[in-house]
Amino acid sequence: MYKNFVFDVYGTLVDIHTNEYDIETWQKLANTIAFYDVNYTAEELKETYFMSCDWQIRQGLKRFKCPEVDVVEVSKHIFENKGKKATKTLATHLAQEFRAFSTERLRVYPDVIETLKQLKRARKKLYIVSNAQRCYTKHELEKLGLIKYFDGIVYSSDYGCAKPDAKLFDFACEKFKLNKAETIYIGNDPKTDVDGAKSAKIDCLWIKTNLTDYDAKPKFPAKYIVENGDFKEITKLLLKK
């Protein structure tokens, strides 16, 4: 019987749509940072942002197979590139501003909260391991009323490592003292979630949602599959185990 239920966030618990490529989004951010005498055109800012991300990924490859960026550090670099300095607080605020500008949809999937309640009533431990930025994902989980259900959260931005790298799952198991044989991971992505959990020797339930890439196939089979994003099936399947 599983004692620990570990969830992905985006595409699993939360339905989201962001647009980081819309030039209007970059213009809004450029207008914001201009108040700090940091002047970019929208195109220049967009290019600088993604170049900074690419640099972090290249540096991260020295340690991990699947490195993660830290958008707070990206914000700092945007200032430094113009000879200015941003405190961590300011850089965090600007990363959050960009997230707000680029987010077009953010909502909890149907039956997610009821499923989490049922798992808690069954005295299960609930965790999150997600490719996510702490600086805004934590606030989004709070805003959506989800964070209170979880006993612990691992954000990839804190570790510089992202799924499907097994190390991110291992970090969580070590941090929360999870027995992998008593743990199941629930996610929507065939590569980062199904193959990632398998690489870490953790069972996986693959829930297919509107954000699942149906053309991609996992390299390894999932222990369980839930079609059409039906969260009610999770309790039916796993509370019996």
Q: How confident is the model over 20-50, as pLDDT tens digits?
A: 999 999 999 999 999 999 999 999 999 999 9
Residue 241 has pLDDT above 60, yes or no: no
Task: Name the amino acid, one letter, at 232.
Answer: K
Taking residues 228-236, what's their average pLDDT?
91
Confirm if 86 and 74 have CB atoms less than 8 A apart: no
Q: Which of 26, 86, 82 is nearest to 50 (CA)?
A: 26
Q: Which of 135, 48, 139, 140 is nearest to 93 (CA)?
A: 135
How large is the C-alpha radius of gyration of the chain? 19
Sign of torsion, CA 177 180 182 185?
A: positive
Q: How far is the C-alpha of 62 from the C-alpha of 60, rounded, in Å?
A: 5
Question: What is the total residue count of the chain?
Answer: 241
pLDDT tens for each residue of 174-216: 999 999 999 999 999 999 999 999 999 999 999 999 999 989 9
Instruction: Say whether 26 sits in a helix, a strand or coil.
Output: helix
Confirm if 133 and 157 have CB atoms less than 8 A apart: yes
Instruction: Say whether 205 sits in a helix, a strand or coil.
Output: strand
Report the predicted TM-score, pTM, of the whole model to 2 decimal places: 0.95
Confirm if 89 and 76 have CB atoms less than 8 A apart: no
Taking residues 113-120, what's their average pLDDT?
96
pLDDT at 1: 85
- Estimate the crossing angle of helix 42-60 against helix 23-33, to 10 degrees: 90
pLDDT at 16: 98
